[in-house]
Amino acid sequence: MTSQTLREARKYEESSEKIIRKEDRPAFHLSARTGWMNDPNGFSYYNGKYHMFYQYHPYDANWGPMHWGHAVSDDLLHWEYLPAALAPDERYDKDGCFSGSAIELPDGKQLLMYTGVCKERQSDGEIREVQTQCLAVGDGIDYEKYHNNPVLDEKDLPEGASRYDFRDPKIWRKEDGTYCCVVGNRPADGSGQVLLFTSQDGWEWHYKKVLAANNDRFGKMWECPDFFSLDGEWVLLVSPQDMLPHQFEYHNGNGTLCLIGNFDERTDTFTERHNQSIDYGIDFYAPQTVLTPDGRRIMIGWMQNWDTCGHRTANILWFGQMSLPRELSIKNGRLYQMPIREFDALRCGKVAHDNITFSDTIQLEGIKGRRVDMELNIRPADGRELYQKFAIRFAQNEQYQTSLSFRPRESILKIDRKFSGSRKAIIHQRRSKVNSEGGVLKLRIILDRSSVETFVNDGEQVMSAIVYTKQAADGISFYADGTVTIDVVKYDIME
């Protein structure tokens, strides 16, 4: 039975979506059908299609009582909106259906596991949001909330674990058929931890153990965990709040963290070996992964960050978009990300320039646009000494530009969107240390109207940022302080 709250949301989104012009949205990134979008939820392959749900407030381009928006796709690039899947319409989730995940049950139904948020007066008189884990089951369009919700609440928490920061279940199934989920939580030390729960049937859940503890190392509370095996290793993704910077690896505020290690499935013990950021740009948070039918691990993140939500255009009817789907792999103990290979089929109008040597600013024939996939090989010019700086400027006209600049002596790649038209004094630059020897660097830069995703050295690092510059600013130019040689291959992207 669909509730009145959900029916209203479905009616509203259907009419409101019509007012949004297609050309005001990204072309190949999923954006909010209407209103506000944050985290990807329930990213799954079900009944022959990819499903993406998302944190959703249809009535406003600002965060509000969370619903789950819903879209499906055959290739993860072209999305079709479906009616909103969940609304905050029960006692235990009346203040929001927060993030969660999806899995197919043996009977062919799809199970959604999400966080129910309910404001309650506490014994000290204060009103606080209590978070519990809840289930809904459905057919890929309509979902019914489980009559025994919540299935995990404070009774299931270990000593000292907060019931106010207990959210974002990510569910998976072990080979032996049992279900597991990881949930973000705040232990007594006030930082973060990931809790592991198990279930025989997906409906009745039990606490197992602390899978990973932050111990105040990476920010505070850990949000949106995801846990999976990849290339013989185990990977735990989390999005920590309140980070402190660490060199160029981690930055202040909301960040992303990838822990790589071993997982002993018999004892459910995760042993960390390596940590790194997931994305080194400005706008990326709360990623979630799916395993494709052909065995690839694909990740999509919210291409936005809580700290930069003030960076927006006026009078917008939607806010929030997802990143490109990225194929994950592990090489030399590091997480690598590349645009999903299906993306190559959208490329057209190839323009290539080889061995272009320049000092100062140049433009290249046929290189411009705001829906672009561009590969750049950068190196010092033959026989010349190491250059000081290389930059590519895009979303450019007389007034605006966004740039990626590289200083080989420091090995620092910087994204800078301060001249992109923003009138807000929020973060518009980020620097990242990259691997480069002798000034050689490889970049793949993907623009989609209001975003830039830069894949460095074949996916060794990625930097994502939102760029709301007017579309008329579609110039691209190259700059060198010193003498640089580049090869450029550029494609336009079909709608």
**Contacting residues toward ligand FRU, per CB under 6 A:** 38-39, 55, 66, 98-99, 115, 167-168, 223-224, 285-286
CA angle (440 as vertex; 439, 443 as ends), nearest 5: 120
Contact 276, 237 (CB under 8 A): no
Residue 209 has which token pair? Answer: 């153990």
Active site residue 39: yes
Looking at the DSSP bridge assignments, the partners of residue 20 are none
Residue whose entry in the numeric block shows the structure tokens 């645009």? 339
Residue 100: CB minimum distance to ligand FRU, A: 8
Contact 141, 83 (CB under 8 A): yes
Residue 98: CB minimum distance to ligand FRU, A: 3
User: Which of 404, 411, 473 lies closest to 445, judged by CA?
Assistant: 404
Choosing from 39, 168, 307, 474, the catalytic residue is: 39
Report the distance separating Cα 86 and Cα 144, nearest Å.
9
User: Which of 223, 225, 260 lies closest to 240, judged by CA?
Assistant: 223
Half-sphere exposure of 234 (CA within 13 A, CB side): 17
Residue 203: CB minimum distance to ligand FRU, A: 22
Report the distance separating Cα 309 and Cα 318, nearest Å.
12
User: Which of 94, 83, 82, 99 lies closest to 40, judged by CA?
Assistant: 99
Q: Which is nearer to ligand FRU, 168 or 327 (CB)?
A: 168
Active site residues: 39
